Amino acid sequence: MRKIKDKKITELVKRLAIKANLNLRADVLDALKRALRNEESPSAKNIIKILIENSNVAKKEAIPICQDTGLAEVFCQIGQAVSIEGDITAAINEGIRLGYKDGYLRKSVVSDPLIRKNTNTNTPCVIHYDIAKGDKIKITVVPKGFGSENASSLKMLKPTDTEEEVVDFVLDTVKHAGCDACPPLVIGIGIGGTLDKAALLATQAIIQPLSRKNAKKHLALMENIILKRLNSTNIGPAGMGGKTTCLGVNILSFPTHIAGLPLCVKISCHATRSATGVI
């Protein structure tokens, strides 16, 4: 067994929380630059230029890309040959607390969804644990802004529904609330499993690079169709019209029950953030 101290985990989570909030992901920045070349409307071009400039300012001044530094979701994949010294859940939350304090990130977490008192630490974070082969721990921090989270949606489709109905639900979700979610958007889609599995897959889809080629041919085709149709809605950057409503679509799927077809559409903004590290 390889021993890993809880302190190491705290240090990594802290570093990833700050990194994710201050540095726009390279694949997202590339997608914005590509969109700037393709966009025709002068006002849409101008907004994309400002978004690119925004990521430069954030990096240079070491301030967050967006003031909504999110509710942190942490994906933690633990090698089965690892033995952890200490309390891993406490160590991850401590990393988030320190990252948000020392990185001057906004504390956006309330202790109870109904009583709504700010915890002033941005904890607790939402943690997803997974066990894998090997003797390493892989951690991904995803600061999830809620302008786009609120625009996300889930539906239990019927097993006899077609791919067209899946595409329509994604389009309806974006048309309904896309303007509010800081377009151009990044769309993560989870299909299959149970209700909660579909939601988890949709979040994992957001973390995938935008340049990723889907290995499942029918899903790769669907990603293209959704991207093309979203970019012809004329929602555009900031919802002010244009060809760039969506920067990329990633779909993840899982086997499901004969009676069901769970579908989750996770919406993320042009400041889609995540950072990964390994111990």
Partner 1 sequence: MKRIYLPLTKDIRVKLSAGEELLLCGKLYTARDAAHKRLYEAVKSNRDLPIDLSDNVLYYCGPTPAKPGTVIGSCGPTTSSRMDKFTPVLLEKGLAATIGKGRRQKEVLQAIKKYKSVYLVAIGGAGAYLSGRIKRATVVAYKDLGPEAIYELWVEDFPVIVAVDSKGKNLFQGEI
How near is the Cβ of 210 to partner 1 at its closest, in Å? 16
CB-nearer residue toward partner 1: 147 or 260: 147
Question: Residues for the chain: how many in total?
Answer: 279
How near is the Cβ of 189 to partner 1 at its closest, in Å? 21
Cβ 132 vs Cβ 79: under 8 Å: yes
CB-nearer residue toward partner 1: 23 or 208: 23
How near is the Cβ of 269 to partner 1 at its closest, in Å? 5
User: What does the block give as tokens for 75?
Assistant: 């994906």
Reduced to 3 states, what is the DSSP secondary structure of residue 43? helix
How near is the Cβ of 193 to partner 1 at its closest, in Å? 30
User: What does the block give as tokens for 85?
Assistant: 């010294």
Cβ 164 vs Cβ 221: under 8 Å: no
Residues that bind partner 1 (CB under 8 A): 47, 50-51, 53-55, 57-58, 61-69, 104-108, 116, 118, 120, 147, 150, 179-182, 234, 238-240, 269-271
Cβ 1 vs Cβ 82: under 8 Å: yes
- For 225-278, the DSSP string reads HHHHHHTTS---GGGSSSS-SEEEEEEEEEEE-TT-EEEEEEEE-TT---EEEE
How near is the Cβ of 154 to partner 1 at its closest, in Å? 19
Q: How far is Cα 237 from Cα 39, in angstroms, rounded to an integer?
A: 10
CB-nearer residue toward partner 1: 148 or 250: 148
Beta strands in the chain (DSSP E): 2-5, 71-79, 82-85, 126-132, 137-144, 153-157, 185-193, 246-256, 261-268, 275-278
CB-nearer residue toward partner 1: 214 or 268: 268
How near is the Cβ of 41 to partner 1 at its closest, in Å? 12
CB-nearer residue toward partner 1: 8 or 49: 49
- Among 156, 141, 277, which Cα is nearest to 206's? 141
- Among 128, 229, 121, which Cα is nearest to 171's? 229
CB-nearer residue toward partner 1: 194 or 233: 233
How near is the Cβ of 75 to partner 1 at its closest, in Å? 23
Q: How far is Cα 257 from Cα 242, in angstroms, rounded to an integer?
A: 40
CB-nearer residue toward partner 1: 86 or 241: 241
